[in-house]
Structure 1
Amino acid sequence: MSNDPARPNIVLVLADNLGWGELGCYGGGILRGAATPRIDKLASEGLLLHNFNVESDCVPTRSALMSGRHPIRTGCRQSVPAGFPQGLTTWEKTLAECLKTNDYATAHHGKWHLGDIEGRYPSDRGFDEWFGIPRTTDETQFTSAIGYTPEVAELPYIMEGKAGEKSKNVQIYDLESRRLIDEMLVARSKDWLTRKVQEQKPFFLYHPLVHLHFPTLPHNDFKGTTGQGDFADSMAEMDYRVGEILDHIDELGVQDNTVFIFASDNGPEFREPYRGTAGPWSGTYHTAMEGSLRVPFIIRWPGQVPQGTTSNEIVHVTDIFSTLLSIAGSEVPSDRPIDGVDQTTFFRDPVGTKSPRTGFLFYIKEELRAIKWKDWKLHLVWEPKVNQSSGRLESPYLFNTVRDPKEESDILAFNTWVMQPMMKLKTEFERSLKYDPAPPDPLKQW
């Protein structure tokens, strides 16, 4: 039943490229041209993390979220164009597949980016139904781009599908539908939630928003409302859409037994005019700077997670996988290394306990870029801005992220002791990689 406390409902809303510094509750809001009252209120009702960390771009983070494993293991190391092998192989077990074994109803409404061929769509990977886009929002610009024809690059579509059936195209995903899609996604989620509550099924709703991914274009109802341009208008819309889902959960009477998470998949966009901000942190996504690693994360779980709390303890996106399975009483796969750690105890008592995670390794594609351990950050490759890499460092840079949030003063010479725990973390992880060979995937095309 949807009110069984042993199997609480789960709603996971994931923004796209929302930087740490954009929301009011993270020091942005009206300072960034748009108040975010609904998400700010959500933060007051639960736990806000200052040190929630993700992977380098859309595909790596979403794969880590769905599998509990770093993309260096799963092969989901970067976003690639349509038609290329991409996304989670059939061997990986997704969060939705694991929850299905515990009789959860599951739905995906939003951006998938973990497979765009039959066998890899959400409805093939544990979701009862899905609606949204298989890849990315960049593609909305295709049909209006000079020289584009469908013969050279396939048309992007909004799609839908149900488990056991073939996914199908709904409409072309162009700039006009870009403005409408987040409204469409919320309508789908509201309808699905109503049906699942009526059926008295515990549910997992994964709702990956399209905002604020470029081209960052607001719905016409929000265009011009902030007076600060499309980006701020889109942020106002994003806040409103999250509020619509929250209100619907209240109307259905299931708030008290629903774990609600709002987070972002990556740090801010670096391209003008859609460039965002990570607040006090330097860098954007596609770098190993803190502005890439740290993104917003809020969890509300009435009666379980204390209200109005914040923490600077380290939590990683892979931890969502292990934590939600623990909360739902579902088993974590035991036949493969799982990088996520169970944060349930910490989430329930973020003041009296500490995160069981001390750090992690950060890769971009196949390259180990940085190691994060407690309040320390070691850069093995220095690329403070996208496409401005100075290459592998003979002497790595070490920063203290509390005293030097912008990573400006290398202090390795005075703190070489930090290399010991960091190298231990690196050695243990690389050893686990050596004994983690994935079997071949029958859907891989080449």
Structure 2
Amino acid sequence: MKRICTSLIYLFICVTPYLAATDKHDKPNIVVMMVDNLGWGELGVYGGGELRGAATPRLDELASQGMLLQNFNVEPQCTPSRSAFMTGRRPIRSGTTRVVWGMLYGMTNWEITIAELMSDAGYATGMFGKWHVGDVPGRFPTDQGFDEWYGVANTTDEAEYSSQFQYDETVGTVPKIVKAKKGEIPRDVKRYDLQARREIDGDLNRKAIDFMKQSVKQDKPFFAFIPYTQPHLPTLPHPDFDGKTGNGHYADVLAEIDFRAGEILDAIDDLKIRDNTVVIWFSDNGPEHFYPWHGTSGPWKGGYFTAWEGSLRAPFMIRWPGHVPEKSVSNEIVHVVDLLPTLGDIAGYDVPNDRIIDGVNQFDFFTGKQEKSNLEGFIIYNNDDIYGYKWRNWKMHLVELDDMNSEPRQLNVPRIYNLITDPKEQYQMQEEATWVLPVMFKKIVEFQKTLAEEPPIQLGTPDPYEPKG
């Protein structure tokens, strides 16, 4: 008996360090690349690529190495999409549905971000790019869970300011590229003007790759969030890509976007961490509306700032070797808020339970354990208003807005579209499919009840914020 006990103790002593090391190294690195205002139809794998003036071989290959989603959904604008990703909550809850010039905006410090959860789970956290969910002390990335940040606080069209008619920097905004470590006030690196706008995405990659290298050297899992500035207007390519395609600036930028993704993927391979790194790539919303920088949403109607499919559907792909099946494609509904709970299953953090989290865990869906998404539909907000509901292959509009410069039309009778047979949302089906109306209205009422249970944070709410009751 003694001999058996001794053997078991010996086995425990020998095996425990191995198990600990295995657990440590099995904690995957996570890289999330987000592009800015790239439409569903731009990449080759989504029917664009060469048809749009530039092949996208690296992103097409990435899609084949994991799962491509055809029905990944975001918010109609930059800020709400980014806050939805960061918090797993619909922006109507967090007061981040829009930005009003001259008014405080962004996430309050009460929100718990994905970066804070990653940090608590033992990850090094770095953000390299456009933030756009807060531009005052207390609301920068390094105040919201990131160990380091290099990039811009607001939107890329600010890079045009210094070149515009009668610009006066003594009273106008002087946009800057900044850097910061956790606990620091961001320091200015240089002005964010049109030349810096051309160069910034290359700089973001260099900083991100340095962060990845340092994390690997320290034997620490990392979460790298890289929200690029392209192809947001002004859509101007890096000098290395200017004229590269012969098809104009937009195509040159599309080639650059593909190249930047390839740089990150090559760095992952060079660091020999491919098998233990989750890579996610997606766009924050639909394409630009303004000529000459407008993009395409492929077969879907409309662009950003609307409730059309071209605003809500965005390209998305995820690779995790040995876990996410290769060459998998799905038209199942997934929403950007789902990423926070899903990555929790991967990184090992718990989803906050002291507030409403709208995202659902898609781990089993992404890893091929089930064919169906855990999400059937979602309410559609544009700014603070309910524009409709999307459920299965059905879409209900309560308000219609042609584009961001149009006047919204409040509909007397809801309009229903079948997104499978009618991707352009042209043929109303009120008579043929009236039965779906009460289904979707019930879901809207259920969502509104949650807003009564946990009142939304209002736009412009200052810190410190604590919910009442």
Q: TM-score, normalised by structure 2?
A: 0.92
The match for 2:276 is 257
Residues 225 and 327 (structure 1), Cα distance of their counterparts in 2 relative to 1, 3 Å cut: same
Task: List per-residue Cα deviations over 1:84-142 (Å, max 9, x = no partner).
Answer: 31111111000000111111110000000011111111001000000000001000111
- 1:198 positional shift: 0.6
2:210 alignment partner, SS class? helix
Deviates more, 1:382-391 or 1:211-220: 382-391
The answer on 1:127 being equivalent to 2:154 is no
Percent sequence identity is 50
- 1:389 positional shift: 3.7
Counterpart of 2:401, as a letter, is E
State how far apart, in whole Å, the 2-side matches of 1:395 and 1:388 are. Answer: 20
State how far apart, in whole Å, the 2-side matches of 1:437 and 1:207 are. Answer: 32
Gaps of 5+ in 2: 1-20
- 1:423 positional shift: 1.4
The match for 1:378 is 396
2:31 alignment partner, SS class? strand
- 1:2 positional shift: 10
The match for 2:379 is 361
Q: CA contact under 8 A between 2:281 and 2:316: conserved in structure 1?
A: yes
The match for 2:414 is 396
2:97 alignment partner, SS class? coil
Residues 272 and 443 (structure 1), Cα distance of their counterparts in 2 relative to 1, 3 Å cut: farther
State how far apart, in whole Å, the 1-side matches of 2:152 and 2:267 are. Answer: 23
- 1:234 positional shift: 0.6
Residues 177 and 355 (structure 1), Cα distance of their counterparts in 2 relative to 1, 3 Å cut: same
Q: CA contact under 8 A between 1:38 and 1:239: conserved in structure 2?
A: yes
Q: CA contact under 8 A between 2:104 and 2:462: conserved in structure 1?
A: no
The match for 1:14 is 34
Instruction: Give me the CA root mean square deviation.
Output: 1.5
- 1:382 positional shift: 1.3
Q: CA contact under 8 A between 1:214 and 1:274: conserved in structure 2?
A: yes
State how far apart, in whole Å, the 2-side matches of 1:10 and 1:196 are. Answer: 12
Q: CA contact under 8 A between 2:286 and 2:311: conserved in structure 1?
A: yes
- 1:6 positional shift: 4.7
1:243-392 alignment, distance < 5 Å: 243-349=262-368, 352-389=370-407, 391-392=409-410
The match for 1:169 is 188
The match for 1:65 is 85
The answer on 1:442 being equivalent to 2:456 is no
Residues 78 and 390 (structure 1), Cα distance of their counterparts in 2 relative to 1, 3 Å cut: closer
Counterpart of 2:410, as a letter, is R
Q: CA contact under 8 A between 2:304 and 2:403: conserved in structure 1?
A: no
State how far apart, in whole Å, the 2-side matches of 1:6 and 1:424 are. Answer: 43
The answer on 1:110 being equivalent to 2:103 is no
Task: List per-residue Cα deviations over 1:362-397 (Å, max 9, x = no partner).
Answer: 111111001000000000001233333452111011
Deviates more, 1:1-10 or 1:101-110: 1-10
Task: List per-residue Cα deviations over 1:315-341 (Å, max 9, x = no partner).
Answer: 000001111112111010100000000
- 1:5 positional shift: 5.7
Counterpart of 1:416, as a letter, is T
Residues 118 and 101 (structure 1), Cα distance of their counterparts in 2 relative to 1, 3 Å cut: same
State how far apart, in whole Å, the 2-side matches of 1:153 and 1:78 are. Answer: 21
Q: TM-score, normalised by structure 1?
A: 0.97
State how far apart, in whole Å, the 2-side matches of 1:417 and 1:381 are. Answer: 20
Q: CA contact under 8 A between 1:186 and 1:244: conserved in structure 2?
A: yes
Counterpart of 2:436, as a letter, is V
State how far apart, in whole Å, the 1-side matches of 2:390 and 2:312 are. Answer: 10
Gaps of 5+ in 1: none
Name which one, 1 or 2, has greater alpha-carbon Rg. 2
State how far apart, in whole Å, the 2-side matches of 1:299 and 1:264 are. Answer: 13
- 1:353 positional shift: 2.0
Counterpart of 1:404, as a letter, is D
2:412 alignment partner, SS class? strand
The match for 1:212 is 231
2:112 alignment partner, SS class? coil
